[in-house]
Amino acid sequence: MFSLEGITKAIDTWLNAHFNSTVVLLAECVLVGVAAIALFAVLGLGLVWMERKVAAVMQIRLGPNRLGPKGIFQTSADTLKLIMKEGLTPDGADKFLFNLAPFIVMIVAMLVLAPISFAKNFQIWDINIGVLYVSAVSSLSVIGILMAGWSSNNKYSLLGAMRSGAQIVSYELSAGLAIISIVVLTGSLSINDIIQSQQNGWWIFKGHIPAIISFIIFIIAVTAETNRAPFDLAEAESELTAGFHTEYSGMKFALFFLAEYINIFIVCSIGATLFFGGWMPLHIGNWEAFNHIMDFIPSSIWFFGKTIFLIFLIMWFRWTFPRLRVDQLLNLEWKYLLPISLFNLLLMTVVAIMGWHF
């Protein structure tokens, strides 16, 4: 049966058989880096295409359909165009920060990739504080955005960056509380332990209503954290031209664009891990036969399937809801999401202590 674990094992044994341990470590580091960059490229091309197709069908259009079957090469052509374009640095900009910002955003997105478990025993870095690491590092991306906005020396950029700062700082809270409610059930911060605890059913089914509420809060908060519509105030096309990346062009713009989609993938994979069991197949309690049939589907397909479903959900939001105003955005967080998630956390703790979950 196909499994990503088999491939990594085979590479590891082959390397160990031919080289000494230092070389093996270096080679594996390089391989992991190449694999991560390849994943980013594929995700960037694939998700942009998916977004355009989903948007088109939801608006009763066809979407890209000229370049390759169903327009699948459209995004590759767009990337080629962006590579050919001049990466302009404005005269009044703070040149060092201006050129550094897209890389900060990108590197943060790459760092968050480390503890995510893509398939059974297929993980870059298995740390025991995986969830904490993810929520800590992912909020660093606001530094890149603020840096881009400030160094552009442009009022639109600055306004966009400030909005983005307010937004990420406030929504970080309810996203964190939604994550904690699952951590309360599991009793562990390690991504692997969380997935293992869903051996007999996913938390969204096992955790009763509190799990469903925290999933809804999580999905709202991460939509806001990734600066996507209806929370895309930071780059609101109609008010701020393009927000914090107004002054960027060429490949530096492409990095921001790519980082947006990578961040969506990462938050959706975290959501899939916490609420839908990551790579864990659909198991129902003690139905041995059913669970066994589900095990035949490779774990990587389960993981990517769940993640893409959540990404689709976020795209569905984007093409349905109108953009919020800044005050509405902060009202929603501080007056609704935060109190509800605090109360929900209390409820979840009671459920966990009394052992009411399955």
Partner 1 sequence: MFLKEYINDVLKAAKSLLTGMKVTGYYFTHRKEIITEQYPDNRATLQLAERFRGEVVMPHDENNQHACTGCSACEIACPNGTIKIINKFDIQPDGKKKKAIDTFVYHLELCTMCGLCVEACPTSAIKMANTFEHSVFNRNQLTKRLNQPGSKIREGVE
Q: Which residues bind partner 1 (CB under 8 A)?
A: 54, 57-62, 316-317, 319-321, 336, 340
How many Cβ atoms from other residues are within 10 Å of residue 222's Cβ?
26
Taking the least distance from each CB to partner 1, the nearer of 103 and 343 is 343
- C-alpha–C-alpha distance, residues 22 and 217, integer Å: 45
Measured from the CB atom, the residue of 287 and 343 that comes closer to partner 1 is 343
CB of 216 to partner 1, least distance (A): 8
DSSP code at position 118:
E
Q: How far is the CB of 54 from partner 1 (least distance, A)?
A: 7
Nearer to partner 1, 340 or 347 (CB): 340
Q: Is 70 left (phi over 0), alpha (psi -120 to 50) or beta?
A: left
CB nearer to partner 1: pick between 3 and 65? 65
Residues forming beta bridges with residue 122, ordered by sequence position: 119
Report d(CA 263, CA 39) in Å as an integer: 13
Residue owning tokens 């839908």: 276
Task: Outline where DSSP puts E strands in the chain.
Answer: 117-119, 122-123
Least separation in angstroms between CB 222 and partner 1: 16
How near is the Cβ of 319 to partner 1 at its closest, in Å? Answer: 6
Residue with smaller CB distance to partner 1, 316 or 334: 316
Could you tell me the smallest distance in angstroms from the CB atom of residue 316 to partner 1?
6
The CB-of-338 to partner 1 minimum distance in angstroms stands at 13
CB 62 within 8 A of CB 56: yes
- Nearer to partner 1 (CB atom), residue 96 or residue 336: 336
Return the residue matching tokens 């355009």.
Answer: 52
DSSP state at residue 334: I
